[in-house]
């Protein structure tokens, strides 16, 4: 091959993006990642869900000569990706256990004839045998390892077969490998590089912020009404509502069905067949809501889930991030709601206390649960809190959460903070939260008397708040670095230099939880911005898409994404050229669908 200069490569991959995929610009570091693979470098990509990892290997596969082998763990993900590629006119196939003998042979022949740009396989392919022989016999361009965290024991998703992928470097030392994952954990990252034997890989790490998701967290008041409000904002859209228990799943799904919503109930108590059926119904149908326990979600790849709603407190930030992350995989505006209450906290704490875990593990689980509550109660940008929790730096304002959008009332509790700080000061940083709170509440606890703490000036100074409220204040002070653990082992609390700002009244301190709250809090209004598109036309196009998908036996999004339908309802193209200008429409989709959709749009606009 004649070597090309960087500008030529740049132009060519740009036109592949436009003509094949129908997109105008690369997102984030996609372009650099694609160039890295094209240059023949091992490449490691860490990007959150929905950020666009697939294009990072699909475009090099089109650009380079030979077939790219894509390793992917789940048959359903694989077949969706391959179907979507075929819609774009890309020569891609997959090999897995779902194929019959003839299908398998045809694909084998196409691969041997060098006709494929991409061949998707499962990791078992490297066990030897037919798939392995095939790979050895075709001209390859590179290997892409999707969901690469599956090689790691540290990950949540370890798969034995992924360990076989260590062979790739040995057998094909000259071909680059691109490994992609959305799992941020540092140890997982190290494992991936080691197990796949990547040689000085070029590493691309994106922020974990899911920019297209708007986060909203509210205390529960009348949760049924709060959920109704969410559903009213998301008419004719897909969503997942997570409940803590099977019982709640059953109750809520029944009541929503009665109200006329299309609902699937899902929990671990269903038979495997019923679960599979529910999953595939969810994947294939538009406008459907799943009410589920957290058993639901693994392997769900539906891109147009527009909202995830937690009816109750998730058990930790990791789960919260993962579960809310099932919204908006297509990168479109999506929402994550949570309604939490102290009762959830108590239920989860009960689970932990009664579980078989060892004491240390229980302690960690409980701390994680506390962090979850902290996220709800602190007046801190939700994204900042979550990103910091995962060790990522973040600005003070993300601009897409209820705190940043000033939808959450906050309460100035500086006076209480001063009381707590002054108690800690008087206790010489030698006592933990419980003792400090006992002093503030004026408890008759013998331990207090033993230390003479009932004689302190701060004794009984905080009787107007409950123990729980004082816990909120103290956690808030910890989180904002006004206090820290003076002795981490005993969890004794001491003041930091910053505490002075509050004690002197130079800084104020506020939280989102209303203290001493007896009356029910009014629900904070939730607003979804109304985009400017013809919603009627959108529904018409959606129906057509559904009918076509059904005919072809593929999920609707394989034909067009929601964003494409929206863009069609805004631009209302009249010609093939105008059709090509729509988001997500490349040459191939234009040829396949322009006539059908142009005439629908014409009829509607007439």
* Interface contacts to ligand ADP, rule CB under 6 A: 23, 26-27, 30, 47, 49-55, 303, 329-331, 561
Radius of gyration of the chain (CA): 28
In terms of Cα–Cα distance, which of 239, 296, 243, 305 is closest to 266? 296
How far from each other are the two terminal CA atoms of the chain, in whole angstroms?
Answer: 53
What are the CA-CA distances from residue 370 to residues 98, 314, 374, 377, 379 (Å)? 45, 11, 6, 10, 15
375: phi then psi, degrees, rounded to nearest 5: -55, -40
**What does the angle CA 285 – CA 291 – CA 294 come to, to the nearest 5 degrees?**
110
178: phi then psi, degrees, rounded to nearest 5: -110, 120
Q: Which does 330 bind (CB under 5 to 8 A by kind): ligand ADP, Zn ion, none?
A: ligand ADP
Structure tokens at 319: 């789960």
Nearer to ligand ADP, 145 or 436 (CB): 145
Minimum distance from residue 28 beta carbon to Zn ion (Å): 20
- Distance separating alpha carbons of residues 321 and 383, to the nearest angstrom: 10
Report whether 67 contacts 116 (CB < 8 A). Answer: yes
* Contacting residues for 266 by C-beta, under 8 A, at least 6 apart: 249, 275, 278, 279, 290, 291, 292, 293, 295, 296
- Distance separating alpha carbons of residues 373 and 188, to the nearest angstrom: 27
Nearer to ligand ADP, 31 or 124 (CB): 31
Nearer to ligand ADP, 144 or 441 (CB): 144
Q: Which does 401 bind (CB under 5 to 8 A by kind): Zn ion, ligand ADP, none?
A: Zn ion
In terms of Cα–Cα distance, which of 290, 239, 299 is closest to 267? 290
Minimum distance from residue 566 beta carbon to ligand ADP (Å): 13
Nearer to ligand ADP, 34 or 95 (CB): 34
Q: Which does 381 bind (CB under 5 to 8 A by kind): ligand ADP, Zn ion, none?
A: Zn ion
Nearer to ligand ADP, 476 or 584 (CB): 584
Minimum distance from residue 28 beta carbon to ligand ADP (Å): 8
**Choices 58-66, 149-157, 158-166, 392-400; region in contact with Zn ion by CB under 5 A:** 392-400
Q: Which helix (H) or strand (E) is 591 found in, with range? A: helix 587-605
Minimum distance from residue 401 beta carbon to Zn ion (Å): 3
Q: Which does 545 bind (CB under 5 to 8 A by kind): Zn ion, ligand ADP, none?
A: none
Minimum distance from residue 47 beta carbon to ligand ADP (Å): 5
Q: Which does 398 bind (CB under 5 to 8 A by kind): Zn ion, ligand ADP, none?
A: Zn ion
- Distance separating alpha carbons of residues 69 and 63, to the nearest angstrom: 14
Q: Which does 51 bind (CB under 5 to 8 A by kind): ligand ADP, Zn ion, none?
A: ligand ADP
Q: Which does 36 bind (CB under 5 to 8 A by kind): Zn ion, ligand ADP, none?
A: none
- Distance separating alpha carbons of residues 201 and 100, to the nearest angstrom: 38
Nearer to ligand ADP, 334 or 561 (CB): 561
514 to 533: interface string for Zn ion, x by CB under 5 A: --------------------
Nearer to ligand ADP, 250 or 392 (CB): 392
- Distance separating alpha carbons of residues 81 and 70, to the nearest angstrom: 11
Nearer to ligand ADP, 72 or 365 (CB): 72
Structure tokens at 603: 């009829």
Nearer to ligand ADP, 88 or 480 (CB): 88
Beta bridge partners of 152: none
Minimum distance from residue 382 beta carbon to Zn ion (Å): 5
Minimum distance from residue 214 beta carbon to ligand ADP (Å): 18
Half-sphere CA count of 593, side-chain side, radius 13 A = 27
398 to 427: interface string for Zn ion, x by CB under 5 A: x--x--x-----------------------
Q: Which does 329 bind (CB under 5 to 8 A by kind): Zn ion, ligand ADP, none?
A: ligand ADP
Q: Which does 324 bind (CB under 5 to 8 A by kind): Zn ion, ligand ADP, none?
A: none
Minimum distance from residue 592 beta carbon to ligand ADP (Å): 17
Half-sphere CA count of 390, side-chain side, radius 13 A = 24
The residue whose Cβ lies closest to ligand ADP is 52
Q: Which helix (H) or strand (E) is 565 found in, with range? A: helix 562-571
Q: Which does 290 bind (CB under 5 to 8 A by kind): ligand ADP, Zn ion, none?
A: none
- Distance separating alpha carbons of residues 80 and 120, to the nearest angstrom: 11
Minimum distance from residue 90 beta carbon to ligand ADP (Å): 12
Residues within window 370-389 making contact with Zn ion, judged by CB under 5 A: 381, 383
Place of tokens 């992917």: 72
Residue 481: how many other CB atoms lie within 10 Å = 11
Minimum distance from residue 23 beta carbon to ligand ADP (Å): 4
Chain CA centroid to CA 50, Å? 8
In terms of Cα–Cα distance, which of 116, 129, 95, 123 is closest to 196? 123
Nearer to ligand ADP, 144 or 433 (CB): 144
Q: Which does 85 bind (CB under 5 to 8 A by kind): Zn ion, ligand ADP, none?
A: none
Interface residue list for Zn ion (CB under 5 A): 381, 383, 398, 401, 404
């Amino acid at each position: 091959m004649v070597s090309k200069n960087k500008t030529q490569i740049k132009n060519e991959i740009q036109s592949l993006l436009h003509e094949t995929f129908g997109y105008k610009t690369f997102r984030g570091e996609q372009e650099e990642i694609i160039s890295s693979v094209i240059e023949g470098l091992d490449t490691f990509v860490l990007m959150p869900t929905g950020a666009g990892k697939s294009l990072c290997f699909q475009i090099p596969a089109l650009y380079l000569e030979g077939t790219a082998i894509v390793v992917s763990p789940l048959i359903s993900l694989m077949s969706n990706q391959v179907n979507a590629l075929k819609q774009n006119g890309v020569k891609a196939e997959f090999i897995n256990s779902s194929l019959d003998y003839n299908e398998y042979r045809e694909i084998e022949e196409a691969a041997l004839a060098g006709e494929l740009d991409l061949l998707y396989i499962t990791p078992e392919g490297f066990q030897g045998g037919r798939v392995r022989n095939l790979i050895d016999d075709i001209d390859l361009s590179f290997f892409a390892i999707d969901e690469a965290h599956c090689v790691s024991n540290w990950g949540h998703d370890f798969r034995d077969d992924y360990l076989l992928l260590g062979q790739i470097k040995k057998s094909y030392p000259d071909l680059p490998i691109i490994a992609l994952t959305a799992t941020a954990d540092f140890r997982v990252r190290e494992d991936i590089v080691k197990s796949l034997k990547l040689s000085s890989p070029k590493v691309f790490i994106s922020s974990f912020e899911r920019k297209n998701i708007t986060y909203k967290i509210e205390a529960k008041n009348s949760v049924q009404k709060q959920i109704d409000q969410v559903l009213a904002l998301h008419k004719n859209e897909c969503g997942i509502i997570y409940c803590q228990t099977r019982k709640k799943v059953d109750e809520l799904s029944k009541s929503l069905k009665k109200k006329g919503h299309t609902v699937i109930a899902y929990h671990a108590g269903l038979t495997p067949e019923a679960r599979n059926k529910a999953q595939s119904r969810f994947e294939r149908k538009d406008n459907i809501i799943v009410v589920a326990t957290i058993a639901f979600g693994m392997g769900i790849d539906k891109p147009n889930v527009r909202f995830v709603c937690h009816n109750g407190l998730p058990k930790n930030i990791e789960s919260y991030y993962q579960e809310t992350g099932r919204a908006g995989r297509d990168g479109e505006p999506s929402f994550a709601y949570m309604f939490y209450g102290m009762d959830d906290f108590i239920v989860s704490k009960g689970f932990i206390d009664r579980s078989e875990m060892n004491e240390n593990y229980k302690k960690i689980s409980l701390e994680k649960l506390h962090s979850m509550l902290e996220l709800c109660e602190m007046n801190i940008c939700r994204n900042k809190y979550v990103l910091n929790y995962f060790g990522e730096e973040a600005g003070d304002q993300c601009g897409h959460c209820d705190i940043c959008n000033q939808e959450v009332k906050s309460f100035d509790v500086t006076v209480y903070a001063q009381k707590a700080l002054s108690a800690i000061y008087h206790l010489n940083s030698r006592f933990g939260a419980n003792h400090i709170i006992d002093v503030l509440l004026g408890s008759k606890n013998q331990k207090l008397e033993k230390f003479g703490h009932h004689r302190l000036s701060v004794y009984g100074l905080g009787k107007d708040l409950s123990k729980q409220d004082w816990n909120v204040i103290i956690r808030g002070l910890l989180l904002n670095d006004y206090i820290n653990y003076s002795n981490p082992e005993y969890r004794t609390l001491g003041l930091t230099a910053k505490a002075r700002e509050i004690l002197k009244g130079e800084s104020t301190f506020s939280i989102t939880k209303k203290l001493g709250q007896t009356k029910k809090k009014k629900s904070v209004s939730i607003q979804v911005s109304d985009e400017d598109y013809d919603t009627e036309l959108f529904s018409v196009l959606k129906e057509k898409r559904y009918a076509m998908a059904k005919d072809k036996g593929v999920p609707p999004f394989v034909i067009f994404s929601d964003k494409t339908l929206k863009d069609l309802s805004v631009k209302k193209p009249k010609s093939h050229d105008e059709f090509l200008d729509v988001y997500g429409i490349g040459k191939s989709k234009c040829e396949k669908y322009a006539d059908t959709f142009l005439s629908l749009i014409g009829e509607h606009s007439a």
